Amino acid sequence: MSAPRLVDSHCHLDFPDFADELPAVVARAAAAGVTRMVTICTRLREEPRIRAIAERFDGVFYAVGTHPMNAAAEPMATVDELVALARHPKFVGIGESGLDYHYTAESAATQQESLRIHIEAARRTGLPLIIHARDADEDMARILSEEHRAGAYACVMHCFSSGASLAQTALDLGFYLSVSGIAAFPKSGALREIFAAAPIDRLLVETDAPYLAPPPYRGKRNEPAYVARTAAAMAEHLGIELDRFAARTNANFDRLFTKAARTGEEAAA
């Protein structure tokens, strides 16, 4: 029996962890049923390297942004710069951007400015915004809501591990929540309940590789193939078949990442 088809909606294939075996990593993902993945740029100056990876592998797409933990150390992105980069056919999302007050609270104002720039780029391109949020739920909910009132945009809360209130704000705005390996950890019951309470048509799955490997790989390097483990754990918690969960999250990905869906169809034609 073949593995159900899955998408790893967020990984970092350019990180040194994969430098020596990238073709093998992509091949293992395909063997596990992971036929598409989005590799994420966290510093704009690294865009050429991420783009080259997406161009090298048929099932790999990419997104570009300034990670909030890098916001103070990197030149501030401009909307025009992001819009220009987004013309590439395999560029499918804006980010990751967001707020992280866990380690970098001192740069909160800079992070917020950067976030608003990325939101405007998402509006102008029609591409989904990819959000990183940690220990900043109140400011995140406020900014996302303010900006959405100023003009609609699409968004996924990547590796969602915040509270139920931010989850509800995101869902009320029409956004998506992405399930990472954290949801498969034994002590993540409250997080699993947040996902269970969300409409299934608003869920994605991801690895955030090389981080956050799900059991039984916890503590080891994560890779896109392991998204199958996270999907299986979430499907079990929801009480549905893995095939059904995979099909729903694939459809959700195509609905949000419309450019990836179109490019994939063109490649298959």
| Mean pLDDT rounded to a whole number for the chain | 96
* 216 part of a folded domain: yes
* 148 part of a folded domain: yes
pLDDT band at 2 (very low <50, low <70, confident <90, very high): confident
Burial class (CB in 10 A: 0-12, 13-18, 19+), 163: middle
CATH of the domain at 156: 3.20.20.140
What average pLDDT score do residues 79-95 get?
Answer: 98
How distant is the alpha carbon of residue 97 from its chain centre?
A: 10
* 234 part of a folded domain: yes
Task: Report whether 10 belongs to an annotated binding site.
Answer: yes
- Distance CA(82)–CA(95), nearest Å, equals 10
Listed residue (240, 157, 258, 145) closest to 200, CA to CA: 240
The pTM of this model reads: 0.96
* 186 part of a folded domain: yes
Task: Report whether 158 belongs to an annotated binding site.
Answer: yes
Task: Report whether 96 belongs to an annotated binding site.
Answer: yes
Total domain count for the chain? 1
* 166 part of a folded domain: yes
pLDDT per position as a tens digit, 33-55: 999 999 999 999 999 999 999 99
How distant is the alpha carbon of residue 44 from its chain centre?
A: 17
Domain span at residue 96 reads 6-268
Contact between 151 and 184 (Cβ < 8 Å): no
Q: Which residues of 180-189 are buried (b: 16+ CB within 10 A; e: fewer)?
A: bbbbbbeebe
pLDDT per position as a tens digit, 170-227: 999 999 999 999 999 999 999 999 999 999 999 999 999 999 999 999 999 999 999 9
Task: Report whether 12 belongs to an annotated binding site.
Answer: yes
* 1 part of a folded domain: no
Instruction: Tell me the sheet residues that pair with 7.
Output: 36
* 62 part of a folded domain: yes
* 248 part of a folded domain: yes
